[in-house]
Amino acid sequence: MAIVRLSTPLRKFSEGKPEINTEGSTLKEVLANIDSKIPGFLEKVVENDEIKQFINIYINNEDVRLGEGLSTALGESDVVSILPAVSGG
Amino acid sequence: MLIGLKCRNCGQRYPIEPLNTCEECFGPLEVEYDYDAIQERVSREKIEKGPNTIWRYADFLPVTGRIIDLGAGFTPLQRADNLGSILGLDELYIKNDSVNPTFSFKDRVVSVSISKALEFGFDTVGCASTGNLASSVAAHAAKANMNCYIFVPADLNVAKITQALVYNPHLIGVEGNYDEVNRLCTEVSGYYDWAFVNINLRAYYAEGSKTLGYEVAEQLGWEAPDRVVVPAASGSLLTKVWRGFKEFERFGLIDEVNTKVTAAQAEGCSPITTAFRTGEPVKPVRPNTIEKSLAIGNPADGFYAVKVIKESGGTAGSATDAELIEGIKLLARTEGIFTETAGGVVVATLKKLVEAGEIDSDERTVIYITGNGLKTQDVLAEYLPSPIKIKPDLEAFNTQAKPEQKEVA
C-alpha cells in the first residue's frame, strides 16, 4: 500500500485530502489504480506514457526521472509525491 | 493594470491570487498586464524621474499596495574595456548586481514578492534557496515585520548561512541538495498557509527580474544590447531579461530588440545548456559543482529558457569549476569587481564562447554579475596566494617584499 501525497492542484481529485493510499507494485500501477477510482486523474499526470512536462514525481523523496520513471517499483509504505515543477532560488 | 494570471503552457486564466500552477496542465502561471493602460502612463521621462531602485519601473511590476523597498536595483552598468581587450570584445559591459542591499540580484524579485505577500495579507513568508535568496527574503521579511522560514542545503557556503542568520529568520538547513530542498519546500507549502516567494508567489516574484532587462536598456541610452550573457539556474532570470527588453520594445521605449540571449551554466550542472546544444528536452541531472547558487538539476523554467535562447538567436555554454575560479580572478584583476561563483561561470563561459567564435568581437555585449564574491570566499581560498608577512620595518620590506616599482624618494 503506497501513500500518495498530492499537491494542491490535484487535491480536487481527493476531496481536498492531501494524501491517499493506493495499491500497486510500480508507479504506473499506482497511478492507474488511482485513476480507476478517480477517473481523469491519470491524464492529468501522464501523457504518451511519460510524466507530463510540468510535473515532478518523487518516490521516498527521489525524483523518478533520475531513476526508472513510471516503471519504478514500489514497496509497502513507500511514499509517492506528485508536485508541480517549480524551482529557482 | 493587472489583468490576472495566465498559464504559459495552455493559456488558462486565473485571478490575481497566490497561485503558481495551472490546475489544468500544471504549467507555470505568469502575470498578465493591461498593456494598453500601461502604454498611456509610461514614458522615458517619467521613468528617469523615478527612484534609483527597481521601483522606477513600478508601472511594469505586479504590486499595487505598500512596497517593501531596501533599495534594490539601479545598479551600475560598467564599461569593461580591460576585460574586453583580454577577451577580444570591442564593447563589453558588466551589469554589476552584486551591490544590491543583500549583495545579489535576488533583492529585485524579493522586493516584489514580499510586497505582494503583504498585499495578499500573509504574515509568514518563506523560500527554498540555493543561498542568495535566503538572505534577501530574511532581510525583506525583517523590514516588513513578517515571520520568515528559510530552507537551504545544510552544506551551503558558510558566509551565506551567516548572512542569512543575522536577519533572524527561522533557518532550516536541509541535508540534501537544492533540488531536494525545493521539493521539501513545495510539499511544505501544500500544508501551511505561508507565502513562499519562489513557490506560490513565483508568478509575481519572477517579474522582478524583468528590471534587469529594463535597466540595461535604459543605461545603454534606451537601447537593447546585441548580446547578453546570463547565469542560468532555474532559467527564469534569462526569460525575464528577455521579457524586459520585449516589453520596452512594445511600449516604444526602445527600438527593435535584436539581443542574442546567452546562458551560462556550471559544467557540473548544465541541463539547460545541454538541452540547447543537443536539441533534446531538458533532462534533470544531479549537480556536481562548487557553484551552488546555480546548482539546480531540475530547472523548472528550463523549457522556456531554451525557447528564448533559440528565439533570440543566442547560445549557451558552460564552465568547469577550475574555469569559473579563473573567471572570478580574471574579473577581479581586470575590472575591480569581486563576484561569487555564478559570476565566475558567466565570465568563463563568455571567454569560451568568444574563443569558439560564437560571440563576435563587434557585438555590444552585457554580462550579468548577479552575486557578490564575499558570499563564496570559501571556494577561493586555496586558489589565491598567501600574503607576504614581514616585521614592521623598512629593511624587512625592502629585502623580503621585493618591491618591483622604483622607490618614490
B211-230 pLDDT, tens digit each? 999 999 999 999 999 999 99
- What distance in Å separates the CA atoms of residue B307 and residue B149, rounded to the nearest whole number? 34
B10-66 pLDDT, tens digit each? 999 999 999 989 988 888 999 999 999 999 999 999 999 999 999 999 999 999 999
Answer whether A61 touches B (CB < 8 Å): yes
Q: Which of A55, A66, A81 sits opposite B26 (nearest CB)?
A: A55
**C-beta of residue B369 within 8 angstroms of C-beta of residue B348:** no
B170-222 pLDDT, tens digit each? 999 999 988 899 999 999 998 999 999 999 999 999 999 999 999 999 999 99
Answer whether A48 touches B (CB < 8 Å): no
Answer whether A87 touches B (CB < 8 Å): yes
Question: Per-residue pLDDT for B402 more than 80?
Answer: no
B243-287 pLDDT, tens digit each? 999 999 999 999 999 999 999 999 999 999 999 999 999 999 999
B133-145 pLDDT, tens digit each? 999 999 999 999 9
pLDDT band for position B407 (cuts 50, 70, 90): low
Cβ separation B130–A63 shorter than 8 A: no
Q: Which of A12, A61, A87 sits opposite B300 (nearest CB)?
A: A87
Which pLDDT does position B408 carry in this prediction?
54
Q: What sign for the dihedral angle of Cα B344, B348, B351, B354? A: negative
Question: Per-residue pLDDT for A53 more than 90?
Answer: no
Q: Which of A7, A12, A66 sits opposite B186 (nearest CB)?
A: A7
Residues of B at the A interface (Cβ-Cβ below 8 Å)? Answer: 9, 20-23, 25-28, 127-130, 132-134, 176, 178-180, 182-184, 186-187, 190-191, 198-199, 202, 206, 233-236, 281, 283-284, 286, 296, 298-301, 303
Cβ separation A56–B183 shorter than 8 A: yes
Which pLDDT does position A10 carry in this prediction?
87
**C-beta of residue B387 within 8 angstroms of C-beta of residue B352:** no
Instruction: List the CATH code of the domain at B77-103+206-383.
Output: 3.40.50.1100
Which pLDDT does position B288 carry in this prediction?
93
Cβ separation B183–A18 shorter than 8 A: no
**C-beta of residue B139 within 8 angstroms of C-beta of residue B210:** no
Å from B302 to nearest chain A CA?
Answer: 10
Answer whether A28 touches B (CB < 8 Å): no
State ipTM.
0.86
- Mean pLDDT, rounded, for B92-114: 98
Q: How many CB pairs under 8 A join A and B?
A: 105
Tell me which of B183, B294, B370 to substitute to probe the interface with A (most A C-beta atoms closer than 10 Å).
B183
Which pLDDT does position A85 carry in this prediction?
85
- What distance in Å separates the CA atoms of residue B48 and residue B389, rounded to the nearest whole number? 50
Å from B127 to nearest chain A CA?
Answer: 8
Which pLDDT does position B405 carry in this prediction?
61
Tell me which of B14, B26, B194 to substitute to probe the interface with A (most A C-beta atoms closer than 10 Å).
B26
- What distance in Å separates the CA atoms of residue B118 and residue B183, rounded to the nearest whole number? 25
Task: Name the pairing type of β-strands B77-79 and A46-47.
Answer: unpaired
Question: Per-residue pLDDT for A88 more than 80?
Answer: no
Cβ separation B182–A87 shorter than 8 A: yes
Which runs of E-coded beta strand occur in B110-243? 124-128, 147-153, 170-174, 195-196, 227-231
Please state, for a pLDDT cut of 90, what percent of chain B lies above it: 89
Which pLDDT does position A86 carry in this prediction?
79
pLDDT band for position A12 (cuts 50, 70, 90): confident
Nearest Cα residue in chain B from A86: B300
| Prediction pTM value | 0.93
Cβ separation B202–A53 shorter than 8 A: no
DSSP code string of B25-58: T-PBEEEEE-HHHHHHH--HHHHHTS-SSGGGGG
Cβ separation B300–A52 shorter than 8 A: no
Which pLDDT does position B122 carry in this prediction?
98
Please state, for a pLDDT cut of 90, what percent of chain A lies above it: 55
In chain A, residues with a C-beta closer than 8 Å to the C-beta of B133 are 89
Nearest Cα residue in chain B from A5: B187
Nearest Cα residue in chain B from A88: B234
- What distance in Å separates the CA atoms of residue B361 and residue B380, rounded to the nearest whole number? 30
**C-beta of residue A80 within 8 angstroms of C-beta of residue A3:** yes
Domains of chain A: 2-84 (3.10.20.30)
Q: Which residue has the cell 564599461?
A: B79
Cβ separation B199–A44 shorter than 8 A: no
In chain B, residues with a C-beta closer than 8 Å to the C-beta of A52 are 25-26
- Average pLDDT of the residues of chain A: 90
Which pLDDT does position B293 carry in this prediction?
87
Which pLDDT does position B343 carry in this prediction?
98
Better-scored residue on pLDDT, B408 or B86 = B86
Cβ separation A56–B298 shorter than 8 A: yes
- Average pLDDT of the residues of chain B: 95
In chain A, residues with a C-beta closer than 8 Å to the C-beta of B298 are 56, 63, 65, 85, 87
Question: Cell numbers of B337, please?
Answer: 569587481
Å from B365 to nearest chain A CA?
Answer: 25
The three-state secondary structure class of B104 is strand
- What distance in Å separates the CA atoms of residue B306 and residue B284, rounded to the nearest whole number? 14
Which pLDDT does position B24 carry in this prediction?
87
Task: Name the pairing type of β-strands A19-22 and A46-47.
Answer: unpaired
Most confident of A19-28, B329-338, B388-397: B329-338
Beta bridge partners of B285: none
Which pLDDT does position B190 carry in this prediction?
87
Better-scored residue on pLDDT, B140 or B300 = B140
Answer whether A55 touches B (CB < 8 Å): yes
**C-beta of residue B404 within 8 angstroms of C-beta of residue B370:** no
Please report which helix (H) or strand (E) contains residue B396, including its range. helix B394-400
